[in-house]
């Protein structure tokens, strides 16, 4: 359950009543939404229309403003998240910028990337930034859509409004409004599974 209040800042007592744990120096705007079981470790600030999901842990030296961060999200060094973004559960962001209004709702790795505004990053998307020797960068233009279970193999650039279909491994640049689908049609062999797997 999420709680929202009006006014300036929550008191420590009010946070406790909402089921939110605050350790150290914590400032939370009453315009923020807080999920029961969230834990905030100070010093940190949660301001504006931020949305902290139930069970989320916000670590020291965080300043979250007008963002949505889910449980088990991991914002590593160099992570910059714009306004009105959604960083959902099990999303990891490293040395990357997420533009205003962009969303990575769950289970994604965004490493060494500059992501524009209003970009959708689907479930299971991996920015493959390391080839064993070099960490390469990815650039994603405004308004792009990256479907579920895509691998974005750096270095690549996606032009504004490009669309990457689910299940694609992208290894080359896309121009604005390009549509990319990089998967084969499945082949079904009737009774072809016979003898391939034995239970127990």
Active site includes 106? Answer: yes
Whether the Cβ atoms of residue 81 and residue 88 lie closer than 8 Å to each other: no
Q: By three-state DSSP, how is residue 92 classified? A: strand
Catalytic residue among 51, 57, 63, 106: 106
The b/e string for 138-174 (b: 16+ C-beta within 10 A; e otherwise) is: bebbbbbbbbbebbbbbebbbbbbbbbbebbebeeeb
Q: By three-state DSSP, how is residue 16 classified? A: helix
Backbone angles phi, psi at 128, to 5 degrees: -80, 95
DSSP 27-85: EEBTTSEEETT-EEESSEEEETT-EEPTT-EEPTTEEEESEEE-TT-EE-TT-EE-TTE
Among residues 94, 91, 78, which one has the least CA distance to residue 120? Answer: 91
Neighbouring residues of 189: CB distance < 8 A, sequence distance ≥ 6 = none
Catalogue the active-site residues. 106
């Amino acid at each position: 359950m999420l709680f929202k209040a009006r006014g300036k800042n929550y008191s420590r007592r009010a946070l406790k009543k909402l089921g939110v744990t605050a350790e150290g120096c914590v400032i939370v705007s009453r315009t923020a939404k807080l999920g029961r079981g969230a834990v905030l470790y100070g010093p940190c600030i949660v301001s504006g229309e931020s949305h902290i999901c139930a069970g989320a842990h916000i670590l020291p030296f965080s300043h979250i403003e007008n963002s949505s961060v889910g449980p088990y999200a991991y914002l590593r060094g160099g992570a910059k998240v714009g306004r009105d973004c959604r960083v959902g559960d099990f999303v990891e962001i490293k040395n990357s910028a997420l533009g205003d209004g962009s969303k990575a709702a769950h289970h994604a790795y965004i490493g060494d990337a500059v992501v524009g505004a209003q970009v959708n990053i689907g479930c299971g998307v991996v920015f493959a930034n390391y080839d064993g020797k070099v960490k390469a960068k990815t650039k994603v233009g405004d308004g792009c859509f990256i479907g579920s279970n895509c691998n974005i193999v750096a270095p690549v650039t996606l032009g504004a409004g490009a669309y990457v279909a689910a299940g694609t491994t992208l290894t080359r640049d896309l121009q604005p409004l390009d549509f990319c689908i990089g998967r084969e049609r499945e082949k079904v062999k009737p009774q072809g599974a016979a003898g391939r797997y034995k239970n127990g």
